[in-house]
Amino acid sequence: MNALRPTARRLAAALNSSKDHGMTPGPMALLPPIYLYRRLLRAHRKHLPQEMRLLGDEYVKAEFRAHRSVDNPAHLIGFLTEWQLYAQKIEGNSWVGEKLDKGKVEKMSDEQIGQLYELMQAIQKRGTEGDLQDGDGGESGQNQS
């Protein structure tokens, strides 16, 4: 256990010395993938309605499965950072009504844009199905009278 103390001290010193005197937040410590994965599923369970939770869980599982074999450290850090920011937003309910950052959208590949579009369609489809089930049949029910 003594071998870990100098490392922890050095890490704490490095984090404290790199701060910009309170002007910007310090670097965010990245969670290991399995802990982040579990945190995301817990956040969905606690903070999202049932339909959104199901869709979110499916998406998280698919993305983490797809990134299991990624070896590029920069890609992994970006992946984990974005998912950790997402978890923080879900837990703080700061995501409601938030628009996508234009800079992030511009950096997306064509494949990512396609995935985003598919996700948008799935959300809209589930929303439409929910409206039909909750209401009295929507507009089609009104036309049948």
Provide the percentage of residues in the chain whose pLDDT is more than 90.
21
The residues, ordered by sequence, that sit 6+ positions from 64 with a Cβ below 8 Å of its Cβ are 33, 37
User: Over the chain, what is the mean pLDDT?
Assistant: 75
In this predicted structure, the answer to whether residue 98 has a pLDDT above a threshold of 90 is no
Return the pLDDT at 32. 87
> Does the residue 56 lie in any domain?
yes
pLDDT in tens, 99-114: 778 888 888 889 888 9
Mean pLDDT of 83-106: 82
Mean pLDDT of 88-98: 78
Looking at the structure, do residues 74 and 112 belong to the same domain, yes or no? no
Domain encompassing residue 92: 25-98
> Does the residue 93 lie in any domain?
yes
Whole-angstrom Cα distance, residue 121 to residue 51?
14
Looking at the structure, do residues 40 and 92 belong to the same domain, yes or no? yes
Looking at the structure, do residues 73 and 48 belong to the same domain, yes or no? yes
pLDDT in tens, 117-143: 888 888 788 767 655 555 554 444 444
pLDDT in tens, 44-71: 999 988 888 998 999 999 999 998 888 8
- Does 31 or 143 have the greater pLDDT score? 31
Span between the terminal Cα atoms of the chain, in Å: 77
Looking at the structure, do residues 30 and 92 belong to the same domain, yes or no? yes
Long-range own/partner contacts, residues 56-63 (CB < 8 A, 24 or more apart): 59/119
Return the pLDDT at 1. 47
What is the count of structural domains for the chain? 2
